[in-house]
Amino acid sequence: MAAANPENTGDAETGETGGDRLAGHADNAGNIIRVGSRASDLALRQTEQVLEKLRPRYPQLDFQVITVTTQGDANAAAPLAGMGLGVFVKEIEQQLLSGQLDLAVHSLKDLPTVLPEGLALAALLPRADPRDVLVNRWGCSLERLPAGARIGTSSPRRQAQLLHCRPDLVVTPIRGSVPTRLRKADGEECDGAVLAAAGLIRLGLTDCITEYLSPQQFVPPPGQGILAVETRAGDDRMLGLLRAVDHAPTRYAATAERAFLERLGGGCQVPVGAYAQSDGELMLLTVFLGTPDGQQTFQAKVRGLTHDPHQLAADAHLALVERGGGGLLEGMA
């Protein structure tokens, strides 16, 4: 899985890197770096967070943000379930491959596990809060929501975990930007919603959070909270520049999570969760698999070496099968 190669790492907090040594070369080759981003407030804020890491290192370079409308953005009312994988990244990746962009910033959870040929994940920034959060018009916890409360989400994983915990709830499809979903969740279309903590934190909207959901109970999707920078696999200049901000611990965790998802052969339309936490040389990988109605759920936790994330993913897959998830996996094939 070339898209997540833990050997291609660096640490933004350490000394000189290949990126530092290539800075002068990049300046000679042209000082404009074209950065692709979706146009939402959250996407632009995430892109700015990446550039806040790059600009001080390369003050001679002019990082210019170019917004791209993706299929997912253009069809904001359409159900995500019928749109396939990569709906928030395909158009950006096409512009990378054509040379219109030099690099692009994504939420890692939006990227399929297999990237288009010719592209690579050049940097993963340190992970933000990976948890899901509940917002609702009563300001109460999930446990105290009234029976029949309408909770918005278009994520099969969130739906499965919600209904597993509270089968009396009504899960309502909800789409749009973070502010749009918050408005809809305040009684306009539903009574509440489940969103990613990282997005609300980045936008300064944490006051509306009524509960942070435990990642052990609400296992996040692979890559949640991680910002990814994608570029062309053969662009040594960009790869060198970005190596300086790649965070090795985050890359190992993301590699384990995405390798697990790849083993399932599933994507964002399958109720799947994977969350890796490293503690030095050891890593704990928690995985989840379920049906959208929440009636069948399987969870497993495995430990292994941080530097061997693919083996950890294989162990997690086997553990899910041994816990009875094999039949559900066969049904997904």
DSSP string, 288-321: EEE-TTSSSEEEEEEEEETT-HHHHHHHHHHHHI
Q: How far, in Å, CA of 43 to CA of 322, rounded?
A: 39
Q: How far, in Å, CA of 185 to CA of 172, rounded?
A: 10
From residue 289, alpha-carbon distances to 83, 170, 269 in Å are 21, 20, 12
- Say what the pLDDT of residue 239 is: 97
Q: What are phi and psi of 86, to 5 degrees?
A: 70, 25
- Say what the pLDDT of residue 78 is: 62
| 227-232 and 119-124 strand pairing | antiparallel
- Say what the pLDDT of residue 14 is: 33
Amino acid 206 reads T
- Say what the pLDDT of residue 26 is: 40
Give me the sign of the Cα torsion angle 330, 331, 332, 333: positive
Q: How far, in Å, CA of 298 to CA of 324, rounded?
A: 7
Please name every residue paired with 195 in a beta bridge, in sequence order, or none if there are none: 133
Q: How far, in Å, CA of 323 to CA of 315, rounded?
A: 12
- Say what the pLDDT of residue 256 is: 98
Give the domains, in start order, of the chain with CATH numbers: 2-128+226-247 (3.40.190.10), 132-212 (3.40.190.10), 261-332 (3.30.160.40)
**3-state secondary structure (DSSP) of residue 84:** coil
- What stretches in the chain show pLDDT beneath 50? 1-28, 268
Residue among 102, 110, 129, 235 flagged as catalytic:
110
- Say what the pLDDT of residue 332 is: 62
- Say what the pLDDT of residue 267 is: 54
Our answer to whether residue 129 is catalytic in this structure is no
